[in-house]
Amino acid sequence: MEKVLLDYDWTVMAPEIIIAAAAALLSLADLFLRENTDRRFFSWFSLAAVIAAIFFTVSRFGQQPYEILGDTYRVDDFALAFKTAVLSGVGLVFLLSAWGVRQEEIRFRGEYDYLLLAAALGAMIMTSSADLITLFVGLELLSISSYILAGIHRERYASNEAAWKYVVQGGVASAFILYGMSFVYGLTGSTNLYTIQQRLVEAYQTGYDAFVLLSLFLMLLGFGFKIASAPFHMWVPDVYQGAPTPVTSFLAVVSKTAAFALVLRIVLVGYIFLYQMQIWQQVVEPVLLVLAGLSMVIGNTAALHQTDTKRLLAYSSVAHAGYLLVPLSTLGAVLFESTFYYLIAYLVMTMGAFTVAALLEREAGHGNISGFAGLSRRSPGTAAAMTVFLLSLAGIPVTAGFFGKFYILMNALSTQHFWIAGIMVGTTVISYYYYFGIIRQMYFRPPASKDRMRVPMVPALLLVIGILGTVGLGVVPEWAVHWIGDLQWMSALTPLNAGPPGP
């Protein structure tokens, strides 16, 4: 008996439905409000919707995995964990937007909020589906909304340039992903990842091995762009610098997390058989490790001579994409755990750093690193918070970033990958130079003006959340590690029902 959507327990989609409904409501409200009404409460409304979605996501932990309509929608622990991370990131971005996005500057204040919700919806779908069509639609929903958000500050030339570069290069990346997916469909006749899992093995063994690898590498080409790894990182500095700061933090935190969820699911479910056949170790792993190594080296060395804060953080984001690629390429026992832990650590510390960047940008009127000069005298609290975030980004002990790196390093060492571990340690040391450069500015340079900097409530709250997360995850990592370790990550790799559901 063929089942339709309403035969399923569709209430498991509550988080997505809440976000979609909130976006629809806001777009209607935007129509009926006067043009000059302050729309800042939209961000608070969206934040409430995100919190409700987090509640429904978290309340499903510990239950059996569930799928709807042949895995076009799927909830398992992998999906829930990544969705929680994505939603937390989106929530923090809304908090930052509620303060940092002004209607005087960005005239499409209403559109800003519901496009951000649409992007969040795309990111959520990317975490919880096991069907290529749904995954790709989710990816495009996230990407297209991000292109618009990057260019939403129309009066600024840099914002226009960012949107333009992002849409062209993003379009090319999507084309590569789609081309790879079309080979997968051609080989297996299915878009369901678990059916693909079975049939790719057959295809590989019956002489189509070159096509299988071609499909994987075409997709990896596009994925490399989406997670901002070198050598596909050309767009990153310009887009991060040109986009409004809350949008930049969204791109750094949410897009990266969602893209990693997508990459892990497609590559591991579809191509894990290569590992058993020893092909992964010979072909795929070297390629991924070279990508990871290149990202670390290029990201960290290019960041050395940046003078713009957001540009510097952009290159640092490229480097972090490199660290994050290591577990995927080496696989190993704590592959999911170490990737996910690092993503959460990256989320809290990057959100904090971007909050400070946004504060200074508003205060100084420019995004240059010289804006940090003498911050310790003008606002000791902000300077201390930024120091914590930078130490964490650099990976100094008792911060979240340190333990995240340590976790990834342990995974790499336990699988006997010493040279990539060496590159990781070496580039981390290089990164100290530019992270400490900012700290030097804050503590040892004279400030441009003597008056104290006021930190409004909302950014202060964000800084507190950032510090609690960064220090908390660093001092007592075992809480998070326990929680992450208890999740059923492997449930993402196996189908729910014995039989694949149709073509």
Partner 1 sequence: MQWNGEFLAFFLLSVMAIGGAVFMIHFTRVVHMVLALAFTFLSIAGIYVLLHAEFVAAVQVLIYTGAVSILMLFGIMLTKHRTSDHSDSRSRHQLLSFVGVAAFFGVIMWVIYHTPFSGGKAETAKYTVANLGEWVFKQYVIPFELTSVLLLAALVGAVILAKKERDA
Between 144 and 390, whose beta carbon lies closer to partner 1?
144
- Shortest Å distance, C-beta 183 to partner 1: 9
- For residue 324, give the amino acid letter: L
**Nearest by Cα to 75 from 132, 16, 136:** 16
Stretch touching partner 1 by CB under 8 A, among 122-130, 276-284, 334-342, 369-377 = 122-130
State yes or no: residue 209 binds partner 1 (CB under 8 A). Answer: yes
Distance separating alpha carbons of residues 304 and 281, to the nearest angstrom: 33
Between 209 and 308, whose beta carbon lies closer to partner 1?
209
- Shortest Å distance, C-beta 244 to partner 1: 13
Between 129 and 382, whose beta carbon lies closer to partner 1?
129
Distance separating alpha carbons of residues 458 and 43, to the nearest angstrom: 12
- Shortest Å distance, C-beta 296 to partner 1: 23
Between 6 and 457, whose beta carbon lies closer to partner 1?
6
Q: 331-340: string of b/e by CB count within 10 Å (b at 16+)?
A: bbebbbbbbb
Distance separating alpha carbons of residues 304 and 392, to the nearest angstrom: 17
Hey, is 395 helix, strand or coil?
Answer: coil
- What part of residues 128-167 is at the interface with partner 1 (CB under 8 A)? 129, 131, 133-134, 137-138, 140-141, 144-145, 147-148, 151-152, 154, 163
Under 8 Å between Cβ of 228 and 321: yes
The CA-atom distances, in angstroms, between 483 and each of 106, 349, 383, 409 are: 40, 20, 32, 20
Q: DSSP secondary structure string, 252-286?
A: IIIIHHHHHHHHHHHHHHHHTHHHHTTHIIIIIHH
Place of tokens 């960064």: 470
Between 210 and 457, whose beta carbon lies closer to partner 1?
210
Distance separating alpha carbons of residues 39 and 265, to the nearest angstrom: 38
**Nearest by Cα to 76 from 477, 500, 494:** 494
For partner 1 (CB under 8 A), the number of binding residues is 43
- What part of residues 381-440 is at the interface with partner 1 (CB under 8 A)? none
Distance separating alpha carbons of residues 20 and 33, to the nearest angstrom: 20
Between 137 and 272, whose beta carbon lies closer to partner 1?
137
- Shortest Å distance, C-beta 326 to partner 1: 26
- Shortest Å distance, C-beta 233 to partner 1: 16
Between 233 and 378, whose beta carbon lies closer to partner 1?
233
- Shortest Å distance, C-beta 32 to partner 1: 16
List 43, 46, 57, 72, residue binding partner 1 (CB under 8 A): 72
- Shortest Å distance, C-beta 83 to partner 1: 15
- Shortest Å distance, C-beta 139 to partner 1: 10
Q: DSSP secondary structure string, 189-249?
A: S--BHHHHHHHHHHHHHTT-HHHHHHHHHHHHHHHHHHTT-TTS-THHHHHHHHS-HHHHH
Hey, is 68 helix, strand or coil?
Answer: strand
State yes or no: residue 66 binds partner 1 (CB under 8 A). Answer: no
> Cα torsion at 277, 278, 282, 284 (round to 10°)?
60
State yes or no: residue 496 binds partner 1 (CB under 8 A). Answer: no
List 208, 273, 406, 432, residue binding partner 1 (CB under 8 A): 208
- Shortest Å distance, C-beta 290 to partner 1: 16
DSSP 8-state assignment for residue 155: T
Stretch touching partner 1 by CB under 8 A, among 20-28, 85-93, 358-366, 367-375 = 20-28
- For residue 367, give the amino acid letter: G
Between 82 and 340, whose beta carbon lies closer to partner 1?
82
Hey, is 13 helix, strand or coil?
Answer: helix
DSSP 8-state assignment for residue 251: I
List 76, 111, 238, 361, residue binding partner 1 (CB under 8 A): 111
Between 27 and 301, whose beta carbon lies closer to partner 1?
27
Distance separating alpha carbons of residues 88 and 220, to the nearest angstrom: 27
Q: Which residues bind partner 1 (CB under 8 A)?
A: 2, 4-5, 20, 23, 27, 68-70, 72-73, 108, 111, 114-115, 118-119, 121-122, 125, 129, 131, 133-134, 137-138, 140-141, 144-145, 147-148, 151-152, 154, 163, 207-211, 214, 502
